Each structure stands twice: as C-alpha cells, then as structure tokens.
Structure 1
Amino acid sequence: MSDQVESVEDFRTRARKWIRAELGKYRGETAAGLRSVDRDAELAAVAYDRRLQNKFYEAGFAGIAVPTRYGGQGLTGAHQKAFNEELLGYEYPTRFQVPTMSPCAAVLLDFGTEEQKSRHIPAILRGEEIWMQFLSEPGGGSDVAGAVTTAVRDGEDWILNGAKIWTTGAWWSDWALCLARTDWDVPKHRGLTVFILPIHQPGIEVHQIEMLNGAKDFCQEFLTDVRVPDSDRVGAVDDGWTVGRRWMFHERMAANSPHVTRADRPAIVDTPMVDVARAAGNVDDPGVRELLGEAHMLDLVGSALQDRLTVGLASGVLPDQSAAIGRLFHGVANVRQATIRADIAGCAAAAWPEDDDALVGAGEAFLMRQVACIGGGTTEMARNAISERVLGMPREPAPDGNLTFREIPRGKVRGSGPG
C-alpha cells in the first residue's frame, strides 16, 4: 500500500464529483442557526444532520484532516479547504461543525488520552455524537478563568456542581467539554481542570433561553452532584488553563479550523444583498449601490484575511493568538452587514410580506446583529488578545493576580462553589 498522499487537485476532482452527484442544494432553513423554529422541526433537522454526517463518513469525506487512526482521512488543511470550496451551494451537516469539530474535537485531538480519542472522534465523524462546550457561566461573563462550577475528587470519580450558560443547542446535543474549578486556594488560572461528560444524565438540567426573535437555541445548564470518572478528565488536574488556552484558540478559529467542513463562503446562508435591493426597489439608487459595494468589500476582505491567517498559523509565522484577528473582523463585519441589509430594506425591515424571501428577516437580523460580537468569545476579548499577545502591548492591570481564587470578591450565583 502506497503512503503517498493524494494531491489536493486530485482530491478536489474526486470531491467535486461526489458532491454534485450525492448532495442536495443547501437549504438555510434546515441549518443550525439562532432563529425561531418549531421544536419538532428542529429535532428532525438534527436527525437529518446525523444521517448526512454519516453519509460524508461512509464516502470518505468526514474528518479530512483528522488522523486515520481516529477515523479521519489523514489529509491536510489544504485538502479540507479544497473540499469547502467545492461545497459552495450544497448541503452539509452544519450541527457537526462548530463547536463539535472545533473546538471540542480539536481539543480532544490536542489533549485527550488515546482512549478518549479512540472512543469519541470516530463517533463524532460517524454522526453519533454532537458536542457542546460548557464554558461560560452566569456570573462570569467573558472571564472564563473565573469559573465557579466546582469539581471535587471522590475516589476514582469527580463530583461536579455549578451552572453553565449560552450553550447553543445543548438541548439536542450529546456530549460536553466542561471547564471546572478543582482548587480554590490558588490564583484563579491555576486551579482549573477540564472534563468531558454526557449532557443528558441525572443531575444535569438543561433550560432553553428564549431570545427576542423567539429562538430557543441558547441554553443554561444546572449541574447537581454530577459524577464524572477520572478517566473522562482532559489534561492534568489543576492544569485546565493550559488546555483552556488552546481551547480558546480553536474557538476563535471556529469555522476556519482545518477540521471544519463548511461551504467556503458562509454568506451563502444569507439572501444576497443585491436581491434585497431589487426586492426593495432601490437597486439603482447611488447610495444603495455604495452600500452594496461596502458589503461586497467586507466579504472579499474577510475571505482574504482568513486565507492569510490560515497560512500564517499553519506555518508558524503567526502566533496562535492571531486567530483573534479573524474573530474580531468576523464580529465587526457581521454587525455592519446586518446594518447595511436593514438600511437597504428600508421600511420592509420593520414589516415585510411573508412571500418576499429577499426581505424577510432584514429587521430581525439587525436586532440580533450584536450576537456576532458575543458568541464564540466576545470581540472585546479578541481585542485584548490581539493587543497583548500579538502586538506585545502592556497587559491590563490584574488586581486579583496575587489572590487565591477563594479570596476574590464575587456575587452569589446559583451553583457557585465555596468561597
């Protein structure tokens, strides 16, 4: 058997043939997203994504850059990018990409034991496991290291108590990567540990949070005496911040990770901006044309920036924290494009005919636009990472840096540990 790696162009040709022969056209209404969807319809879409993921796996197009010993194809990020380019306009299992493949599977590949990787990575690639990240907490905001969900050792197990929040899709997912505090008597970054656990088990309550557009994808989870075997610990005890830093890197990479399958231009899920202008009857207006040009420019710059970051990160020319540059641009650009879309739609952004697909949702997208700057790590945190860890600017003062975590003042939040 030859060890020669299939060329990117040969792989592209093979992928193109399979995609066009076997996949249906992309349908945004069935993809994962923060929108109001009937519960049964969402569960049907999740089930379809599982079947679709398995179809990719059986055809040899799941985990393109994942090592073969874990069920992947053992190819490169360039092969994944070629596949993503050919996928434009066609369906793919959106619920198995972010956060399942990145950051969750990526973290397992970096820090998991052989048993953990062999047990979970193939199951993910076959469509059997959808993963979420239990990271943010009700009282923590963007201060991930301030986690108060507590894990206490009990023989060969750990007992977890606390709460997590803003977990998109937890109610229909299977497993979680969870950050917990295992030592309150050291500075906050030094007393954390990462675990993996099934979401639907005794002791875990999943509550859906209704957003202003009626969507209920965001969830809050309450953990009460949840027992986790030590074999499901990721990384060393109290060294969770080492895992966490890499976790944050993969979270910022998100859809641009070499482990993620997606249509090369995510904007395919949106109605093209020019169609909005045509539907609003103002496509010939000079001001509208200027807005269309700006929206197109943001697409072009975003695509070029991600290509540059991908190459720079893969080659080591750019530090890992440079992923925050893409995160920041994505958030700011999405907010601006949602604003442009609403401006072009005009009055139809407030009220639109239900049969006019191009105008539907322009106002809702405007009201929800700030989500792009919050989910996946806030753009404020991305700015900090860029300034301090990429540009080398002085770090912000940390008044609690010499305190043990127990000594840091905090408000009382349900599920908090001792302190």
Structure 2
Amino acid sequence: MSTEIEDLAAFRARARRWIRAELGPFDPDVAVGLHRVPREQELAAVAHDRRLQRRFHDAGFAGIAIPREYGGQGLTGAHQQAFNQELAGYEYPTRFQAPTMSPCAAVLLDFGTEEQKRRHIPAMLRGEEIWMQFLSEPSGGSDVAGALTTAVRDGDEWVLNGTKIWTTGAWWSDWALCLARTNWDVPKHRGLTVFVLPIHQPGIEVHRIELLNGAGDFCQEFLTDVRVPDTDRVGAVDDGWTVGTRWMFHERMLFNSPYVTHAPGASHTPAETSPLRIAADAGVLDDQRVLDLIGEAHVLAVVGRVLQQRLGTGIRSGRMPDESAAVGRLFGGVSQVRTEAIKFEIAGSSTAAWSDDERSVAAASESFLMRQVACIGGGTTEMARNVISERVLGMPREPSADHGIPFREVPRGTRTDR
C-alpha cells in the first residue's frame, strides 16, 4: 500500500466534485441541536446521519486525518480543512462530529489500546457507532474531577455505580466514554479512571430532560452495577486525569479538530432565526437602531470564524499552547449569548406573544430563553476563563480548598456510599 500523501490541490478538486455531485444542501432542521421535535422525527434524522456518514466513508472522505490502519484516509489536518471549506452550504452528518470524532475518537487515538482503536474507530467512520461523553455529574457541574460515580474492581471486570448528566443525545447514541472514581484515598485528580461502555445495556437507565423550549435531547444516566471488562479501560488505573486533561483539550478544539467534518458558516439553528430575517418579518428594517444590531451580530459571527481559524492554525503549528482552545470556547459562548439577545431586541414586544405563522419571532423568543446553554454546554465559560488565565497567561492558580486532600475526606453536602 502506498504511503504517499495525496497532493492537497488534487484532493480539494476531488472533494469538490464529489460534494457537488452527491450531497444535498445543508438543512438546519435535521442537524443536531436542542430543537423541539417529535421523537420519531429525531430518530429519522439520526438514521439519516448514519446513512450519510456511511456515504462519506464509502467515498473516502470519512476520517480524513485518521490513520489508515484505523479506517481513516491517513491524510493531514490541512486536507480535512480543505474538505470542510468545500463543504460550505452542503449537508454533512452532524451527529458524528462532536463528541463522536472529537473528543471520543481523538481520546481513543491518544490513549486507547490497539484493540480498542481497531474495534471502535472504523465503526464510527462507517456510521455504526455514535459516541457520547459520560462526564458531568449532578453534584459536580464543571468540576469533572469531583466525579462520584464509582468503579470497583471485581476480577477482570469493573462494577460502575453512579449518575451522569447533560449528555446531549444519549438516548439515541451507542457508546460512551465514561470517567469514574477508582480511588477515594488520594486527592481527587489522582483517583480517576476512564472506561468505554455501550449505553443501552442492563444497569443503565437513560432519562431525557425537558428543557425550557421543550427539547428533550439532554439526558441523565443512572448506572447501577454496570459491569465493564478491564479490556474496556482507557489508560492506566487511577490515571484518568491524564486522559481527562487531553479529553478536555479535544472538547475545546471542537471544529478546529483535524478529526471533525464541519461546513464553515453552517448554523444549527433554522434560517428564520437570523437577525436579518427577524427584522424583515417584524417590519423594522428601516430602523437605524435595528440595522446597528444586525451589523453587530454579523461582526460577532465574522470574528468568531476568523478567531477559530487562527486558533486552529496556531495550535496545529505549535505556536500557541493547546490550552488556547479555551479562548475560542469563551468567545463562542459569550458571543452566542449576545447574538440571541440581539435577536430578542430586534423582535421587540412580539416576543411576548405571537401567531402560528410568525416562526421567526417565535424562534427569537425560544432561543433567548435557551441562550445561556452556550455558556454551559461543553464546559462553562467560567472554566474557560480559568484555563486562559492560569494556563495561557500564566497567572496564579485559583485557591482550592480540596487541594492535596484525600477525596474521601473532602466535605460534601450529602453522604455518598463508597
């Protein structure tokens, strides 16, 4: 088998021909997102993404920068970036990007055993496995190192008990990357271990959480005596924070990851929610204040795209530390909150009540209610600020009351059996 890397220009031309010949337009109504849709419609969209992912795979455009021995194309991040650029305006399997390809596949590439990589990564690329993160817990918020979900060794297996929360799409997904506590007698960062496990099995209950807008993709998972073979452990026992640190990096990279397919400018919200469309429907396009707001929203979008490009280039080249990805995370959260507020301001008093045919006004009101999700999902913007200040700017670390204390001795509000 030849190991020669395909010329970037030739690859771009080949990708362009296939995209324009084989793919339909991008449709935000079927893309992954916190939409209020019937269960059957969501499952149909998941099935469509599985078929679409398989088409990408069969055409040689899945896992562009993933090594060939794991089912990828063995090309470079520059090839993935070129493909993404050509993909603008066209459909792609959104449910296979985050967190399946990054951080999950990326973590397996970094820390997984050879058997784990060969078993799971090709299945992801073929559209057979959608992965989720069992990371956050009700008691810990963004302090993922404070995990209370336990894993107790029993011969060649581990027995997991606990609960995870805010897992977007767990109810229609297949596998999970799970962080659990394996040692209570060391400080919290030193007693963690990472496992992989199928989501739909005895001992795992997945409960959907209804959000303010009626969406039900956020989930909480209850694990009761879930048995996981030691062969499904990722990394060393009690060294889960080494895996976790890299895990968080891949999560912050998101669309800058060389493993993620993403069309630039693709919005996972319906077209009628654009500030321009809302202003037109509200009949206020001749209002100078509204035009200023539309301009502000456009600038935020442009700056966000350029910032992500700069961060991606800087991190890949080594000119910026990996932790710089938190800058993009912070800007993305803050700018999205502001953009949703702009839409709400443009729609004006119509957001209090609307008729059935005023879709853009209704969407503006709904997205305003949900705006804070942008600063919480994928790690809070507060955590991003800490990463930037401490690991990018080199400022003193924030004091921690549980630093160096065995996790068993850390005070908690409720008793935990362990």
- Could you tell me the TM-score, scaled by structure 2's length? 0.97
For the 8 Å contact 2:89–2:266, the answer to whether it is kept is: no
Question: 1:357 Cα shift?
Answer: 4.4
For the 8 Å contact 1:161–1:417, the answer to whether it is kept is: no
Question: 1:15 Cα shift?
Answer: 1.1
For the 8 Å contact 1:99–1:251, the answer to whether it is kept is: yes
2:406 to 404, 407, 418: 404
For the 8 Å contact 2:29–2:270, the answer to whether it is kept is: no
Q: What is residue 374 of structure 1 aligned with on the other side?
A: 376
Question: 1:392 Cα shift?
Answer: 0.3
Change beyond 3 A, Cα 1:12–1:354 = farther
Q: What is residue 318 of structure 1 aligned with on the other side?
A: 320
Between the aligned partners of 2:3 and 2:40, the Cα distance in structure 1 is 46
Question: 1:263 Cα shift?
Answer: 1.1
Amino acid at match of 1:301: V
Q: What is residue 331 of structure 2 aligned with on the other side?
A: 329
Runs of 4+ in 1 over 6 A off after TM superposition: none
Between the aligned partners of 1:348 and 1:85, the Cα distance in structure 2 is 37
- Could you tell me the TM-score, scaled by structure 1's length? 0.97
Unpaired segments ≥5 residues, structure 1: none
Change beyond 3 A, Cα 1:15–1:355 = farther
Q: What is residue 281 of structure 1 aligned with on the other side?
A: 283
- Does 229-238 or 256-265 show the bigger shift? 256-265
Superposed CA offset, 1:19-51 (max 9, x none): 111111111111111111111111111111111
Aligned residues: 416
Question: 1:256 Cα shift?
Answer: 2.5
Any idea what SS the aligned residue of 2:98 has?
coil
For the 8 Å contact 1:148–1:417, the answer to whether it is kept is: no
- Does 6-15 or 303-312 show the bigger shift? 6-15
Q: What is residue 352 of structure 1 aligned with on the other side?
A: 354
Q: What is residue 4 of structure 2 aligned with on the other side?
A: 4
Q: What is residue 173 of structure 1 aligned with on the other side?
A: 173
Question: 1:125 Cα shift?
Answer: 0.3
5 Å-filtered alignment, 1:87-102, equals: 87-102=87-102
Question: 1:299 Cα shift?
Answer: 1.1
Between the aligned partners of 2:2 and 2:149, the Cα distance in structure 1 is 50
Between the aligned partners of 2:256 and 2:364, the Cα distance in structure 1 is 26
* RMSD between superposed Cα atoms in Å: 1.3
Q: What is residue 75 of structure 1 aligned with on the other side?
A: 75
Between the aligned partners of 2:125 and 2:361, the Cα distance in structure 1 is 37
Q: What is residue 267 of structure 1 aligned with on the other side?
A: 267
Question: 1:269 Cα shift?
Answer: 4.0
Amino acid at match of 1:98: A
Change beyond 3 A, Cα 1:9–1:346 = farther
Any idea what SS the aligned residue of 1:361 has?
helix
For the 8 Å contact 1:181–1:192, the answer to whether it is kept is: yes
Amino acid at match of 1:374: I
Question: 1:164 Cα shift?
Answer: 0.3
Question: 1:165 Cα shift?
Answer: 0.4
Superposed CA offset, 1:136-192 (max 9, x none): 001011111000100001111100000000000000000000000000000100000
Superposed CA offset, 1:334-372 (max 9, x none): 001111111112233333343344434011001100000
Unpaired segments ≥5 residues, structure 2: none
Are 2:181 and 1:217 equivalent residues in the alignment? no
Change beyond 3 A, Cα 1:111–1:41 = same
Identity among equivalent positions (%) equals: 70
For the 8 Å contact 2:31–2:95, the answer to whether it is kept is: yes
For the 8 Å contact 1:88–1:268, the answer to whether it is kept is: no
Amino acid at match of 2:313: V
Q: What is residue 245 of structure 2 aligned with on the other side?
A: 245
Superposed CA offset, 1:241-299 (max 9, x none): 00000000011112321111111113374423222221211112111111111111111
Between the aligned partners of 1:310 and 1:354, the Cα distance in structure 2 is 42
